[in-house]
Chain A
Amino acid sequence: DTEVTQTPKHLVMGMTNKKSLKCEQHMGHRAMYWYKQKAKKPPELMFVYSYEKLSINESVPSRFSPECPNSSLLNLHLHALQPEDSALYLCASSQGRSSGEQFFGPGTRLTVL
């Protein structure tokens, strides 16, 4: 299985809502990532988990809260988002070495009203 899955595919939420994005991989990868991608822009790294520990937080606002329950799962909890947070949220995984390809999921397209 060389696939990263993400749910939901689409999400519309109000600024007062709380929602969660989910990501799963069964490739035995030990590093997992969250990226944010705005239209016609490259993906921007948000968080990195390595061996289930948060290793990189790219100064992301606290209204985004990542969680790694186990080595296969990655969540992104959302609370009190702003309309400018509307974007495609991509999850990725890699073997965890300092180099090597990253496998991306299909993404969750988030709209904040």
Chain B
Amino acid sequence: GQQVMQIPQYQHVQEGEDFTTYCNSSTTLSNIQWYKQRPGGHPVFLIQLVKSGEVKKQKRLTFQFGEAKKNSSLHITATQTTDVGTYFCAEIQGAQKLVFGQGTRLTINP
């Protein structure tokens, strides 16, 4: 199966600045999930998007699924030091195969 492409690979921001990571696919995605992995930690599920054009919010985090279901984004407003980590998008292919994007590593200058 195709792998979703995720950009940027790294992002360094000042605390309080916004942050966005993007996932793109050449084929239509059945769904997209987002995970966060803190340094030295394990992936933790954030959200799943299934519907075309879907937008979901969790406090300062906004998740979008493109109208064509070929792209998705995660936007964090006013970053805090607790947001540090690597953010992965992932698609479930077939029945249960979760395929991760390359991830965006976020570092924050306090």
Q: Count of chain A residues with Cβ under 8 Å from any Cβ of B?
A: 26
Whether the pair B44, A55 counts as a contact (CB closer than 8 A) is: no
Q: How large is the interface on B (under 10, 10 to 19, 20 to 34, 35 or more residues)?
A: 20 to 34
- Distance between B25 CB and nearest chain A CB, rounded to angstroms: 15
Describe B's contact surface by its main secondary structure: strand
CA distance A48 to B44 in the complex (A): 18
A-B contact count (CB 8 A): 55
Taking the complex as formed, is B99 at the interface, i.e. its CB lies under 8 A from any CB of chain A?
yes
CA distance A94 to B30 in the complex (A): 18
CA distance A58 to B96 in the complex (A): 12
Would you give the 0/1 interface string for A38-77, flagging 1 where the beta carbon is closer than 8 Å to chain B?
A: 0011111100101000011010000000000000000000
Taking the complex as formed, is B59 at the interface, i.e. its CB lies under 8 A from any CB of chain A?
no
Chain B residues 77-110 with CB under 8 Å of chain A are 88, 90, 92, 95-103, 105
Chain A residues whose CB sits within 8 angstroms of the CB of B99 once the complex forms: 45
Known: A42-B88, A99-B92, A101-B48. A56 touches B97 (CB 8 A): yes
Chain B residues 18-32 with CB under 8 Å of chain A are 30-31
CA distance A98 to B31 in the complex (A): 11
A99 touches which of B43, B50, B101 (Cβ 8 Å): B50
Binding site for A on B (CB under 8 A): 30-31, 33, 41-45, 48, 50, 88, 90, 92, 95-103, 105
User: Known contacts A99-B48, A102-B45; can you find 18 more A-B pairs with CB under 8 A?
Assistant: A33-B96, A33-B98, A40-B105, A41-B102, A42-B102, A43-B43, A43-B88, A43-B100, A45-B99, A48-B96, A50-B96, A55-B95, A58-B97, A98-B92, A99-B30, A100-B48, A103-B45, A104-B44
Question: Could you name 11 residue pairs across A and B whose Cβ atoms are closer than 8 Å?
Answer: A33-B98, A41-B103, A42-B90, A42-B100, A42-B103, A43-B43, A43-B100, A50-B96, A100-B48, A101-B45, A101-B48
